[in-house]
Amino acid sequence: MAVGKTFVVEKLCPVCEQMTRVVKTRSRIAVVSRDEDACTHYADFNPYYYTVWVCEHCGFAADETTFTTKIPDRHLQILRAILLTKNIKIPFAEERTLGNAETAFLLGLKFLDIIHGKASKKAKYAHQLAWIYREAGDKVQEAEFMAKAAKFYEEALAKEHFPIGAMTDNATIYLIAAIYYRIGERQKATSYLSRLISDPSVREREPRILDKARDLWSDIRAGRRK
Ligand SMILES: [Zn+2]
């Protein structure tokens, strides 16, 4: 399914310091549709399968940013103490199955837990893993990881400094609302949306988010549910 949409590169694993093969996705892939919680659907391909890289030698798993940015020494010490003594072998998969992608995300989340990593990063992994389950039609697992993503985004909102990359605090509030909406928590969804709708600075600075918040609000009011 992935022919021509991915390519293999070699990267230095920050934990074991060996070169490992990883798969990157090409940036121009045709978008089919986008869900209200930002899950994007592409024709015959799911780039989220490749978000989390896994070192084929030591099993370290993280997204490209983490893999290629300096990891603090105190975190490396913890990760090396675990990974370099355990001989975890995760075979390289140029074309990932659902199971390969799931393993990558779960390992990524596990390592973030171990180093007490950022909630915003945990939210990203949990949310994208939920999207993978959505595409696969696994509603139980999707709901479980959507709920986790919402909790992690809430924690990030409370503890981290925004913007994080391109992600503003208002965009995060909207995402939390969209997640709660999709898992049927209308009350929570509307309470987050009202924060956006009642804040005049959102209208000034991020009118697109205000529009999206109003659309979702009227969907909820009309009783339209996923
Ligand atoms: Zn490694």
The predicted model gives 196-201 an average pLDDT of 96
Alpha helices in 72-183 (DSSP H): 73-86, 98-114, 119-136, 139-159, 169-182
CA of 29 from ligand 1 middle (Å) equals 29
Q: How far is the CA of 13 from the centre of ligand 1 (A)?
A: 4
Domain ranges of the chain: 6-118
The alpha carbon of 6 and the centre of ligand 1 are apart by a number of angstroms equal to 21
Mean pLDDT of 80-107: 94
CA 84 to centroid of ligand 1, rounded, Å? 8
Mean pLDDT of 149-167: 96
Give the integer Cα–Cα distance in Å for 11 and 142.
Answer: 31
Query: For residue 223, is pLDDT > 90?
Result: no
Percent over 90 (pLDDT), the chain? 89
pLDDT of residue 94: 96
- What is the Å distance from ligand 1's center to 113 Cα? 18
pLDDT recorded at residue 3: 53
- Cβ < 5 A residues, ion ligand 1: 13, 15-16, 55, 57-58, 60
pLDDT in tens, 4-34: 899 999 999 999 999 999 999 988 888 999 9
C-alpha 17 to ligand 1 mean position (Å) = 6
Q: What's the confidence (pLDDT) of residue 1?
A: 45
The pair of structure tokens assigned to 10 is 């070699």
Mean pLDDT of 192-212: 96
Kindly report, residue by residue over 48-90, the tens digit of the pLDDT.
999 999 999 999 999 999 999 999 999 999 999 999 998 888 9
Task: Give the pLDDT score at 88.
Answer: 82
Rounded CA-CA distance 122/153 in Å is 8
Angle between helices 98-114 and 73-86 (to 10 degrees): 130
CA of 11 to the centre of ligand 1 (A): 10
Residue 103 Cα to ligand 1 middle (Å) = 16
pLDDT at 42 > cutoff 70: yes
pLDDT score at 89: 84
Average pLDDT over residues 84-101: 92
Q: Measure 54 CA to ligand 1 centroid, in angstroms.
A: 8
Q: What is the pLDDT of residue 2?
A: 43
Rounded to the nearest whole angstrom, what is the distance from the C-alpha of residue 59 to the centroid of ligand 1?
Answer: 6
